A = this chain, B = another copy of it.
Amino acid sequence: MRPVPASPPFEFCQYPPPEVGYKVTSCWDGTGGLRVLLIEDDVALGEAVRDHVAGGAHAVDWMKTIDTAASALSTTGYGLVLLDLRLPDGSGIALLKDIRARGITTPVIILTAHDQISDRIEGLNSGADDYLVKPFNLGELTARMLAVSRRYEGRPVSLVRIGDLEIDAAERRVSSAGEAIALSGREWAVLDTLSARPGAVVSKAQIEEALYAFGSEIESNTVEVYVSRLRRKLGRDQIATLRGVGYRLGRER
């Protein structure tokens, strides 16, 4: 995997999640390629696909079991999934149905030796975007990957990961260690402000500006109160205080 730059620009997606906050705005690898998850247990085929796809300047994570693939996908950071149907520890179709049912919309192309028409139809109806039968031509695979992913492009994604905290601004979702957390309007506004520039310190004044219309007179310690409420929900040390300066998302190092 390519090294992760230590500073912005943020517009790429990280997997596995980085320690410090990165803003994820799309499922590209930061250099113009797609970030691809390859789920395949056949070593020879997996190597061929990985080398070809990566050679086309895409970033490929290769996983060989349902189990690891499922946990990787739960973090929704991929632009495309290449899925072998027959895996040693379970069915690819079950995995596909499961991730679709969980609302994960990442495009999926099935790569398989199953060549019955009924298999193809089942695969596509289970939520796959395309279906390629082995043996296939690697050039065609790339063309189909691009065909599928250009449909997926342009969807609004804005995901920020900081430690085990995941903030999806587009979907207005927060989770801590995989657990969804419900926030009120003001709580969300504060968190949203803090996550707008991950890693940066945000002053109380900036948060107040985000919370209230310009010119509003706020005389109390509202920001402190909401930070306190957020900490209670997200975990005490997910928001660091910089005395006299402001707040920052993430644990102090």
Contact = CB atoms under 8 A, between A and B. Distances in A.
Contacts of A219: none
A236 interface: no
Contacts of A105: 156-157, 197
B143 A243 contact: no
Contact of A172 (B143, B180, B245): B245
Given A101-B161, A151-B148, A242-B172, A127 B140 contact: no
Interface string A242-253: 111100000011
Contacts of A63: none
A146 B127 CA distance: 10
A170 B125 CA distance: 11
A3 to B, nearest CB: 30
Interface residues of A, number: 58
Contacts of A151: 107, 129, 148, 151-152
Interface stretch (A15-23, A116-124, A208-216): A116-124
A243 B189 CA distance: 13
Contact of A124 (B144, B171, B240, B242): B144
A223 interface: no
B121 A143 contact: yes
Interface in A179-217: 179-182, 184-185, 197-201
A2 interface: no
A103 interface: yes
A100 interface: yes
Q: Please provide the 9 A-B residue pairs with the shortest distance between their CB atoms, ordered closest to farther.
A: A103-B199, A101-B161, A103-B198, A124-B143, A105-B156, A121-B143, A124-B147, A117-B137, A151-B151
Given A100-B161, A172-B245, 10 more contacts: A103-B160, A105-B197, A121-B140, A124-B146, A127-B156, A171-B201, A172-B201, A180-B253, A185-B243, A185-B245
